[in-house]
Amino acid sequence: MSTLFHTGKICRSIICWIIVLVVGTSSFYSCKNANTKLIVFYDKELESMKAIAKKENKFFCVVLSRPDCPMCQHYIQHFGELYNDIAEQVIFNIVDVSLPENWWYQHWLGTGASPTTCVFSAEGELKAVVEGTKRNAIECIKSTVTDHARCSPYFYRTRFHANRDVMQVLNVLLNCKLNLDKGRPICNEINVALAQSGHPYAIYLKAISQAEKGQPEEAAYWAGEFLSMVNSNNYDSRVYANTLRQIKTIIHPNYNPADEGVLLVTGELSLGHSKLNQPRPFTLTLTNTGQSPLQVHDVRLSCSCVKIKGERQLELQPGESQKMEFIFTADVKGNVIREITFFSNGINLMETIKIRARVS
């Protein structure tokens, strides 16, 4: 059971919201109006949500969240206040996408953004995908539920090309995924999805379905296509990182992760006290702890306040270590956290470390 909810009282001005945990659900009750309530499930399977929504004849929203996402937690804590006016028309399900059983949501949508809200009709058809929690994003969700209005594409950044309506593509892919889970053939559906878009998830499902049909050569071909696409795009490398062992096993049945290169970088680096606008050099050591040569092909910096000295690429032989030099120049005061992400051809395509500093 996920711990995304904080049981207890949340007081805001004169309104008190109490989260009451019942078996498998969390219901928000307003002390201001006890006759209105918003039903919120968490980590419930999509098929179960579809059945409940159909029975109740209500829309349902699946909210992708993470326990380490402060914005997600703030959003969840104020659900009652935000959606009290549509409580009779919609059911919510909070999904912790850090759990392995929920990874597929981000693969399907092609996004790692949290929180992201998927709005479904009572029949289980995806109507809108909304990233973020700004006021206009909330209104977009409400309008979809109340008058079935189409949300602006502004709220969902698609990172794959599609020659058909994006929601239509996602609905086809969702049906493919759910049918594949039930052991049903998806040949026609997945071919439609492939014809409609260049979504990596369509290629992934094609590879998996071919493997399950006992067609190893076709499965290996599509797995290779998927791997090539993901390796060529840093964003896709992040979203689909936890699919790669499965995909590589399809390509090479005797694949052993222990034979790959493994990048090791310090997990977190504290720079201590730093001065505003004063350059602060620091060094990171990168080590290949695996059994094969490893190429670091890119380094992504989370802000312009961190710069890299020298090249962004290097090659590490098994057991070899090399240093990379950086400069941190604080542009704001207070406790600062920044990230550096390394992309490689190792078993984990990306490794991220956090840089912390106290700036005055």
| Of residues 352, 331, 325, 339, the one with CA closest to residue 274 | 331
In the chain, what are the domain boundaries? 8-155, 166-255, 259-359
Per cent of the chain over pLDDT 70 is 89
How many Å apart are CA 212 and CA 217, to the nearest integer? 12
Quick: pLDDT tens for 98-149: 999 999 999 999 998 889 999 999 999 999 999 999 999 999 999 999 988 7
Label residues 282-302 b or e (16+ Cβ within 10 Å = b): eebebbbebeeebebbebbbe
At 19, the pLDDT band (50, 70, 90 cuts) reads: very low
Output the CA–CA distances (angstroms, integers) from residue 233 to 1, 29, 81, 345, in the order listed.
34, 45, 39, 12
Quick: pLDDT tens for 22-79: 333 333 333 333 445 889 998 999 999 999 999 999 999 999 999 888 899 999 988 8
The mean of the pLDDT values for the chain is 86
Is the pLDDT higher at 16 or at 312?
A: 312
Quick: pLDDT tens for 82-101: 999 999 999 999 999 999 99
At 321, the pLDDT band (50, 70, 90 cuts) reads: very high
> What's the CATH superfamily of 259-359?
Immunoglobulins (2.60.40.10)
- The predicted model scores a pTM of 0.76
Spatial strand order of the sheet with 350-359 comes to 268-274, 350-359, 334-344, 294-301, 314-316
Q: Return the CATH number of 8-155, one of 3.50.50.60, 1.20.20.10, 3.40.30.10, 3.40.50.410.
A: 3.40.30.10
